[in-house]
Structure 1
Amino acid sequence: MAARSKSLNVFKKPLAVHSLNPVTGFTRSGYCETPRGDVGNHSVAGILTDQFLDFSASRGNDLRSIGLKGGCRWCLCASRWKEALLARKGDNDDVVPRVVLSATNEKALDDIPMEDLRKFAAEE
């Protein structure tokens, strides 16, 4: 079990663990924490899709090279998630990963409006 995070989610509640298999997060704690050294703001608790993996690879970050596949839960850079959001062809476009709001760090709100995160919230 992961040690409890001291970070808060987008609801200003304790941050929920996002994934321990695979172990995600900038610090590989299972949480989407954003310590001082995380210049990418890995704050968005996403559920990967094959379309997003293709999109990310086309932008120079091939997440499949570290063993990720569609369905994996991964802490994403807020800017890459937003880039996918802006590139989508509609609200049902699978290029935008669904978001687990309870595991999404409040720091995501520095780059992404809550309205956009809610629009792509995963059912929990």
Structure 2
Amino acid sequence: MKAEPEKPVNVLGGVLAPCSREPLTGYFRDGFCNTCDTDFGSHTVCCIMTAEFLAYEKYVGNDLTTPRPEWGFPGLRPGDQWCVCAGRFLQAADEGCGPQVRLAATHARALEVVPMDVLQAHAVE
């Protein structure tokens, strides 16, 4: 059975806005931070990449900068928007290197992991 996205609701209670189509992001690679029960990482937080966050991710074992064409992954650069795992975003925020967040494009399920005040502290809109 193929996994299907949950209802696309953002952390503000509205319709989930797209995060990025270039590069194409999301657990479903649909441009949205959609999720479902098989998304164990909860790729629900729409973040704007910074050099600091990308270096942090590489340091903790998640290299987001190296292209992986076999997975259709172009590698990320500062300024790119990407659906980040909620737990990893919270970890980076706790370490002082959390990137900015687009609340309208962050799925409501992120709130199961990340408190709203933490998301708001990193919000760009």
Q: How does the TM-score come out when normalised to structure 1?
A: 0.88
Q: CA deviation at 1:86?
A: 0.9
**Structural RMSD (CA):** 1.1
Alignment of 1:28-43 (within 5 A): 28-43=29-44
Flag structure 1 segments of 5+ consecutive residues without an equivalent. 89-94
CA distance, structure 1, for counterparts of residue 7 and residue 21 of structure 2: 17
Q: Number of residue pairs matched?
A: 113
CA distance, structure 2, for counterparts of residue 28 and residue 51 of structure 1: 24
2:98 aligned residue: 96
1:119 aligned residue: 121
Equivalent residue letter for 2:87: S
Structure 1 stretches of 4+ with a deviation exceeding 6 A read none
Flag structure 2 segments of 5+ consecutive residues without an equivalent. 1-5, 68-74
Alignment of 1:59-98 (within 5 A): 59-66=60-67, 67-88=75-96, 95-98=97-100
Q: Percent identity?
A: 41
Equivalent residue letter for 1:35: C
Equivalent residue letter for 2:77: K
2:70 aligned residue: none
Q: How does the TM-score come out when normalised to structure 2?
A: 0.87
Could you say what secondary structure the match of 1:122 adopts? Answer: coil
CA distance, structure 2, for counterparts of residue 117 and residue 102 of structure 1: 11
CA distance, structure 1, for counterparts of residue 78 and residue 101 of structure 2: 14
| CA distances 1:75-109 after superposition (whole Å, capped 9, x unpaired) | 00001100001111xxxxxx211000000000010
